[in-house]
Structure 1
Amino acid sequence: MIDELDLAFDEHADKTKPRHRRGRGGKKSTGKSGIAFVMAFVLLAALGGGVYFGYNKVKGFFTAADYDGAGGEPIQVTIEKNATLTDIGNTLVDVDVVKSTKAFVNAADANPKGKNIQSGTYNLKKQMSAENAVTLLLDPKSRVTKGVTFREGLTMMQTFTLLSKATKIPEDDFVQAAKNPEDLGIPSFWFNRRDSKQVKKTVEGFLFPDTYEFDPKMDAEAILKVMIGRFLETAEEIGFVDTVQKNLSVSPFEALIVASLAEAESGVAKDLPKIARVAYNRTYKQKPAMPLQFDVTANYWLQLKGSAAKHSGQLSQKELNDPKNPYNSVSQTGLPPGPIDNPGKAALEGAMKPATGPWLFFVAVDKDGNSAFAVTDAEHEKNIDKACANGIKLSCD
C-alpha cells in the first residue's frame, strides 16, 4: 500500500522535480517480469498443445477411415449395372466390406484399372482394406455370375430352356412365373389391340434378347422381371410406343407382333423394315385383307405343342393350314393372337418405322438370306424362280 500511496501523491507533485524511487521497487519489478515470463511460457505451451491437438483432429477429418489387411468373413456382393465408384463404395460399406466410401474411391482412383470394375456378383471378405477390395473386384476369378446371351428371335420356350441350363432353375419354374405377365411388370396397355382380334396375354415378345448376368440368388420370377425390364427400357429408348401410336394405325402390341414376324422371316437385318411393311400392307392396306401366309406361324404352333420347328420347305399343307392353330396365317386373315418370338432392337425399329412401299410378297433368294420383294403375283413368281436357281429350298417343281 505504501508504494501505491507514494504513486498517488506523486501525481500531485511538481512534475518538474525528479521523482524518488525506492530501491526495493526495482526488485519487485524483476519479480513481476519473472512471473510474466512463466505465465507466457505456460500460455504458449497450452496454445502449442491446442494447435497440435487441433491439427490431429483436422487431419483425421481428411484421412479416409480404412481397414487393414485382406479381411475375414467371406461374403458375396452384387455390383449393379452402371454403378459409379461412389455407388460401389456405398454398397461395400453397407455390408461392412470396407470401412468408408472415401477410402474405396481413393483406392480405385490410385489403381490404373480402378474404373474398369464391372457389374456382377463377387466373392469378397468383410473388413478388408479398400485396396484389397479393389484388387478383388478387378479379378475375374472373384466373379460369381457369368453372362448368358440370348439371340434375337428365340421363342419364350427356347429362352426358358437356356435360362434353366444357365441358372439350374427348373424350366417349369419359368413357365409358372410367366403365367401372369402383368405381375412381372408388363403394363396392361401393352395387351390392347385396335383390330378387335383376340389378345394372347403372354411374356412372348417381352423377353428382350441381350447378354445378362443374373445374381445366383435370383429366382425365376426375378429373372423374367429383369428381361422384361430390359425390353421396356429399350422400347422407351427408341420411342416405340409413342411413334407407333402417332404414325401407324395399330396398337403397340400389334406392332410388337409384326416385329416378331419380321424377326422370324428375315435373313438379314436390312430387310426387317420391308417385311414389316408387307405384314402391314396385307393386314391393313388390302381390301379385303389378305392372309399373311407366313410359314413361321405354323412353326411357332408346332413348338408350342412341344414339336421341333421345321424348314419351310418341309412343312406339310396340313401343318401350314391347321384349322386348330390360332396362329394359322395361311387361311386366316389378320395378325396372330400375340408375338411368335422375342424380337431385337432392329426388328422393333423396323416395325415402328416400316419401309415405304406397296409390296405384298417376299421370298429369300440367296444363301446369304437376302429377300426379293414384289407387288404382283407375277413378279413374285419370278423371284421364286430366282431363288430356286440359287439353290434355295422352296417348292420349285
Structure 2
Amino acid sequence: MESIPRPCFETLKDFALLDPDTLDGELPVVQDFLNRCPVSSLPIKSYMLVKQFLIKHAEPTRYANYRTCTERLLLWSILEAKKPLTDLSEADIQAFMNFCTTPPDSWVADKSCRRFTQGKLRSVVGFNPDWRPYCLIQPATGRNDTRIAYIAGRSGLAIQMSVVASFFLHLHYDDLIAINPARRLHAAGFYTPSLPVHSGANVFTDEEFAVLMLTLSDMADEDIKHERTLLMFASIYYLRLQPSEIDSLGGDLTVSALRLMRDGTYDLVAEKFPGNWAWKIHPEFVANYVNRYRERLGRQFIPLERDHTLLLGKIRGKSSISSGYARALFRTVCQIVIDRLTESGCVVSPNSGFRKATLFWVRETSMHHSARTMEMSDVIRLARKSNAENAYQRFFAWRD
C-alpha cells in the first residue's frame, strides 16, 4: 500500500496531450502509484475527476497553480483520508486545510525540484524521489542544524481554498456531488489573505516572495525562454545585487566565477569580486537555479569553472542586461503574478508588494532573509557600499 505522496500530473505541454476520459497515454509510473493506493479511496476515479477539472484550466495562466492545489487535495484524500473525493464532507475539507497549514515533514521537500526523472521513452520515466507536494522556500535547517517547520502563509492558503472551492463547484455542476463541501468555508472567508504590511523596510512578505519565485518557476516550466528570467532574478536575490550593480558587474558575473567554499556556501572568485566583500551565496542558488538553467540549456556536462554563461545575460546576444531592462522586466513579472492570483480567485490588495515593489525590493528581501540566520557582522559585510550603522538600522533595528 502506497504512503509516500507522488506527483500525478506533468507539465502543461505533456498534460494537454492526454485523453480526459481514459488512462491512455498516462505515465506508467503514475498508473502504478494509483494502483498501490488504498482501494477504499477509489484512487483512479478520484484521479480522473481532478484530471478532467485540470483539462478545463489547461492554459499557462492557470494550470500550474490549479495543478498544485488540486494535486495536494487528491493525494491527501487517497493517502490520508482514504476516501474518494466525492465522499469528502465539510469537516474533511476543514481537516485538509489544517493539513495544508502545517503538513508533516514527509510531505515537505527541502527545495524545489523536478517532478519526474527524464527518459526518452515514457515507460522509463520515474518519480523524482525528492519531490513532495509542499516545498520550503527558505533553507530547510536553521541555526544548530534544527529543521525549520513548514507553515503556510495566509495568501497561500487563500489560493488553496479558492481552487478547492472551484473544483467542488465543478463537480456539483456536473451532478457528481449533491452538496459542495467547500462552499460554506470559502464563502465565510476563513482563508482570505490578510493584507500585507510593509513597515520598516521595502521588502516582500514571506508569502509574497514565495508566490513570486513560484510564478517565475512556473513561467520557466511553461516556456524555456523564461529560464533566463528565472536565473536573472534568482541571481539578483542570492547575490544581493543593487540595481546599479547590474550595470557595473553584470558583464563579469558568470557561472565560472562561482566557487564552493569550505562552509558549503559559494563565493565569487574573480578580480572584480574581492573576497572581503564576503558574498556568502547560499548553495541552493547553484542547486536549484544555476544547475536547472544549465540542464535545460544542455550545459550540465561543462564544469562550473569552465561555464562562462552570464548570470545576467540577455536572452539573445552575449552581453549583460541593463538595470533599466531588469526594472521593466521585474514590473512585467509582478503584473503576471497579479493576473495569476486574480485568475485563481485571490484578491490582490492595493497595499500588496506586487503593486508597490521596485526591483530594489528583491535585494532588500534577500538581506532581510539573511539577517534572520546570520550574525550581524556577516550581514553588515554583505550589505556592500553601506556602513555598519546604516546596515544595522535597515536590517535589524526596525524589528524591535
Is this a same-fold pair by TM over 0.5? no
TM-score range, shorter chain: under 0.3
Higher relative contact order (CA 8 A, sep 6+): 2
Relative to total residues, which structure has the larger strand share, 1 or 2? 1
- Bigger Rg over Cα: 1
